[in-house]
């Protein structure tokens, strides 16, 4: 790595190595930007992308570097720490929580796998760069002198409007395989087509490249990491705890909101009764609490076992698939809990802009992500039955 960058601590956040100290620093960073994130949440929702002030707050906080290798100035935080951070930020604003998990996740992939010369070039930006990208291969990479000419269009590129780089999986021209190209964001065209049910403030628009030349050094075959520890040997399992805890955080917020709402809520056309006095609701909030806690513990347990398995080699395929299935389960449980709770909140709760209405929309949108689809269960089931030894992300 470039020694000049190492000598510029003002260009990045200094992360302690002790896990508990690191947790305290990252959680402190969430607290520091909480007011700004909360104040800009409606602007992000209306603008369909993270508000500029929220982006600047995230950049200054150093949170986007929580998954990046220490060798490049990142925190290389364990999944257990990441879970706490993503949960805390999502409780403040879902769009900001989603933006963080995407930017930090793609950043970790890029900064752990690209050659030193590429990473050195990227680190000339203000702090660690922000990344956006997509998981689904698209487009064509045509081999030319010195690199590739790439064309294609990719969707669900959360945070692309404020990204410094985009990462795109691209088919080789003969369709013999897929390569990952990392391109400065100003070379991409952003399509203003993000009009979703929920997660509106995440700016998950499409981007496209039109015959853009990408030097060979910025193109990789998604091989093993060249820097960092076990965190970068988790395969696609590295994203499981992010998706799982994001959904659980929203369910926790729904429980808190519903509990406070019904304390003053009376239902019935003539007089009615206080909802909080109903035994069915009393049982419902306790059941919701237990389901949320159980799902969270499952996600933590799976993530810790996955990390331990990658101490010396890549995490086993079966554990990666189990982590993905756990994330899908957490998302389903979060949606089920929230759907049940909103029944008690009355007609006002479903009006546009109401907290429970927004949480439900955000969860339905998060559930549509491929990573937490029903296929996660099917793939793990085939592994458990010995029908396959593969677990593709399909």
130-151 residues labelled b (16+ CB within 10 A) or e (exposed)? bbbbbbebbbbbeeeeebbbbe
CATH 1.10.540.10 fits 3-122, yes or no: yes
- pLDDT value at residue 13: 73
pLDDT for position 270 = 55
At the second CATH level, the architecture of 131-220 is Beta Barrel (2.40)
Please check the confidence at residue 361 and state whether its pLDDT lies above 60.
Answer: yes
pLDDT interval class at 8 (50, 70, 90): very low
> What is the band of 292 on the pLDDT scale with cuts at 50, 70, 90?
very high
Least confident of 74-83, 177-186, 218-227: 218-227
User: Which pLDDT score is estimated for 348?
Assistant: 83
Mean pLDDT computed over every residue of the chain: 93
Helix-helix angle 240-262:279-309, to 10 degrees: 160
- For the chain, the domains span 3-122, 131-220, 234-384
| N residues, the chain | 394
Average pLDDT over residues 186-215: 98
Phi first, then psi: what are they for 190, rounded to 5°? -95, 130
Average pLDDT over residues 365-385: 97
In sequence order, the β-bridge partners of residue 143 are 148
How confident is the model over 119-176, as pLDDT tens digits?
999 987 567 999 999 989 999 999 999 999 999 999 999 999 999 999 999 999 999 9
Tokens 């200054």 locate to: 60
This prediction's pTM: 0.95
pLDDT score recorded for residue 349:
85
User: Residue 76 and residue 228: Cα distance in Å, rounded?
Assistant: 8
DSSP letters spanning 40-66: THHHHHHHTS--HHHHHHHHHHTGGGT
CB 350 within 8 A of CB 342: yes
On the question of pLDDT at 1 being above 70, the answer is no
Query: Is residue 267 predicted with pLDDT exceeding 80?
Result: no
3, pLDDT greater than 50: no
- Give the integer Cα–Cα distance in Å for 10 and 288: 45
Whole-angstrom CA distances from 283 to 180, 213, 286, 288 are 50, 60, 5, 9
Average pLDDT score over residue span 235-260: 97
Closest-CA residue to 192 (of 165, 161, 151): 161
Q: Strand, coil or helix: what is 156?
A: coil
pLDDT of residue 190: 98
pLDDT for residue 4 = 39
Radius of gyration of the chain (CA): 22
Banded pLDDT at 269 (limits 50, 70, 90): low
Report how far Cα 375 is from the mean position of its chain's Cα atoms.
19
Residue 299 has pLDDT above 60, yes or no: yes
Percent of the residues in the chain that have a pLDDT greater than 90, as a whole number: 87
Q: Which CATH number fits domain 234-384: 3.40.50.880, 3.90.226.30, 3.40.50.300, 1.20.140.10?
A: 1.20.140.10
Question: What six digits make up the tokens of 28?
Answer: 């402190």
């Amino acid at each position: 790595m470039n020694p000049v960058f190492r000598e510029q601590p003002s260009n990045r956040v200094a992360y302690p190595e002790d896990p508990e100290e690191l947790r305290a620093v990252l959680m402190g960073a969430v607290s520091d930007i909480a007011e700004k994130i909360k104040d800009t949440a409606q602007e992000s929702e209306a603008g369909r992308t993270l508000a500029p002030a929220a982006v600047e707050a995230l950049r200054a906080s150093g949170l986007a570097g929580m998954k990046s290798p220490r060798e490049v100035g990142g925190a290389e935080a364990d999944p257990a720490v990441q879970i706490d951070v993503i949960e805390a930020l999502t409780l403040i604003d879902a769009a900001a929580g989603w933006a963080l998990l995407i930017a930090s996740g793609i950043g970790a992939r890029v900064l752990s796998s690209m050659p030193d010369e590429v990473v050195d070039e990227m680190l000339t930006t203000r702090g660690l760069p922000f990344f956006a990208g997509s998981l689904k291969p698209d487009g064509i990479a045509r081999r030319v002198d010195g690199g590739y000419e790439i064309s294609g269009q990719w969707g669900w590129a959360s945070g692309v409007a404020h990204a410094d780089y985009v990462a795109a999986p691209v088919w080789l021209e003969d369709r013999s395989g897929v390569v990952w190209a990392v391109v400065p964001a100003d070379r991409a065209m952003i399509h203003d087509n993000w009009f979703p049910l929920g997660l509106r403030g995440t700016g998950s628009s499409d981007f496209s490249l039109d015959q853009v030349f990408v030097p060979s050094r910025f193109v990789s075959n998604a091989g093993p990491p060249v820097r960092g520890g076990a965190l970068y040997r988790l395969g696609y399992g590295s994203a499981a705890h992010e998706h799982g805890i994001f959904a659980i955080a929203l369910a926790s917020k729904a429980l808190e909101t519903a509990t406070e709402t019904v304390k003053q809520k009376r239902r019935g056309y003539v007089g009615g009764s206080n909802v909080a006095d109903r035994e069915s609701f009393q049982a419902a909030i306790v059941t919701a609490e237990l389901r949320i806690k159980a799902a969270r513990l499952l996600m933590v347990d799976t993530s810790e076992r996955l990390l331990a398995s990658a101490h010396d080699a890549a995490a086993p395929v079966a554990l990666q698939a189990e982590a993905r299935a756990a994330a899908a389960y957490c998302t389903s449980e979060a949606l089920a809990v929230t759907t049940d709770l909103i029944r008690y909140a009355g007609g006002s709760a479903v009006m546009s802009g109401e907290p429970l209405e927004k949480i439900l929309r955000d969860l339905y949108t998060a559930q549509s992500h491929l990573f937490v689809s029903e296929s996660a269960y099917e793939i793990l089931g085939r592994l458990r039955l010995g029908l396959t030894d593969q677990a593709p992300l399909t």
